[in-house]
A and B are shown apart, each in its own frame.
Chain A
Amino acid sequence: MFQKPLLFPWRNVVENILLPADVLHLDKDAARKRALGLLDLVGLEGWENHYPSELSGGMQQRVALARVLLPDPDVLLLDEPFGALDEMTRETLDLELARITALTEKTVVFVTHNVYEAVLISDRICVMTPRPGRVTGVVDVPIERPRSATILSTEEFSEKVREVRDLIGAVG
């Protein structure tokens, strides 16, 4: 997944989710069924025939998430997928992502510049230096799942944020 949703405006929502099926020549009927299931999973049931321009930024990234999940990959590589969204939407989508990837048992490599976001969704955080990119420290986040926004105000959460910040500080 990219920073932009990169939905194709000439395809409606379900057709966008089916893009990998078209390119990978997956069975059409099965893929369609799966796409509609994924649409429910990302909370967009009933939106399959709408076009991307009718969707908000958050909804577009939900569609992009469904699209990346369609071919059932083992690992998801997400490069700041919610970076362009407002704080509230980002938080919602972070938690949704955590729920969905737990449900579908995916490994996720998630790139972000937002420390709170990292702590909120991660099992393990690798802090990297800018240019050249090197790992300077690894922080495990043993906060219980499923997580909700309430953990944002816990002592454990603040502790982890401080730990990551210290590592970044050491880099800078």
Chain B
Amino acid sequence: MEVEMDADTRVADRDGLLPEPAETTSRTRRWLDSRWRGPIGAGILAMLIYTLWQTAVSNAWISDIILPAPGDVIVAFAETIRSGFFYEHLWITTQEVLIGFGVGVVVGFTLGAWLGSSRLARDVAYPYVVAFQGLPKIVLAPIFVTALGFGMASKVVMAVVISFFPLLVNTEAGIATVDRDAVKLMQSLNASKRDIFFRLALPHSMPLIFAGLKTALTFALVGAIVGEFVGAGSGLGYLLESYAYQLQVPRVWAVTAVLALMGVVLFLLVDYLDRKIVFWRSNGPNTGSTL
């Protein structure tokens, strides 16, 4: 009962409909119940990690050649993002990731849609799909660098090869799981294959496709960085490796943080599109049909 009332007052309070509560204790509690609870908790966790990190370094539990003090990393981060050459490297890696992701998405979606729609294609190609799935694709990086050189091309190809796969698998799974009765419904209307694909199979697959896009994005970043590790003259992966060789460890961590930020920004972008496009998923699991 109490829980229920809490939920009600919280909803009402968001619209500013309730008068201020009289008691301080209940105000505090309601405040902790509010939507700021998550961010505040995350902030506290960040402070805890920072303290633990600082303590570990101060007491030499861990060598500062491996993990420098957080303050040093922040200074290195500030220095890094103020230097001009950093943006050249950032731009190179961003291009590699985005082009690789874009091509990977087109390739993965097309192959996935094809495998999902054609039983013959599935039967013929699936053994190879499974074999390729088992392959740790980063082993291909040296081959691509040898074939395509130290420039962007080898990194883009690496990003494509590693990122098209989740999209292929998820698109295929989405299309293969379309409700047979929904297909019959479309057929009863004399719908063309094209209509069945665009009006039924594709929208039905969108939630899975977006899940695939999120994975693919992270993978594209991995592909580009691995490519840069293996052989490159520019890019954040190259920069990171150079700093590591020079034992500029705070800067290594600073570049790592930049890469993490890049991943987060790109992820949030896809997540935003996901919420906009697959709006019906938030309506809850009961959609009345199995779609």
Contact = CB atoms under 8 A, between A and B. Distances in A.
A123 B287 CA distance: 35
Contacts of B206: 10
Given A4-B179, A52-B288, A57-B288, 7 more contacts: A4-B181, A6-B182, A8-B291, A23-B189, A23-B190, A24-B189, A53-B286
5 contacts: A10-B278, A52-B288, A53-B286, A53-B288, A60-B288
Contact of B289 (A6, A23, A54): A6
Contacts of B290: 4
Interface residues of B, number: 26
Contact of A24 (B182, B190, B279, B289): B190
A105 to B, nearest CB: 21
Given A6-B182, A23-B191, A52 B199 contact: no
Contacts of A127: none
B203 A10 contact: yes
A81 B227 CA distance: 57
A9 interface: yes
B287 A9 contact: yes
B275 to A, nearest CB: 14
B199 A6 contact: no
Interface string B163-189: 000000000000000010110111001
Contacts of A53: 280, 283-284, 286-288
Contacts of B99: none
Interface of A: 2, 4-10, 19-20, 22-24, 51-55, 57, 60, 71
Given A2-B181, A23-B191, A7 B283 contact: no
Nearest to B191: A23
B199 A19 contact: yes
A22 B199 contact: yes
A71 B288 CA distance: 23
A108 to B, nearest CB: 15
B200 interface: yes
Contacts of A22: 195, 199
Interface string B249-291: 0000000000000000000000000000011100110111111
Contact of A7 (B190, B278, B279, B288): B288
Contacts of B190: 23-24
Contacts of A52: 287-289
A137 B179 CA distance: 35
Given A23-B195, A51-B283, A4 B289 contact: yes
Contacts of A10: 203, 206, 278-280
Interface string B112-149: 00000000000000000000000000000000000000
A123 B281 CA distance: 43
Contacts of B288: 4-5, 7, 9, 52-53, 55, 57, 60
Q: Which of B195, B200, B278, B287 has the most CB of A within 10 A?
A: B287
B186 A9 contact: no
Interface string B98-112: 000000000000000
A142 B288 CA distance: 36
A172 B290 CA distance: 34
Interface in B25-58: none
Contacts of B286: 53
A71 B189 CA distance: 9
Contacts of B284: 53
A8 B289 contact: yes
Contact of A9 (B185, B191, B291): B291
Contacts of A6: 179, 181-182, 185, 289, 291
Contacts of B279: 10
Q: Which of B189, B190, B204, B283 has the most CB of A within 10 A?
A: B189
Nearest to A55: B288
B283 A9 contact: yes
B182 to A, nearest CB: 5
Contacts of A8: 182, 199-200, 203-204, 289, 291
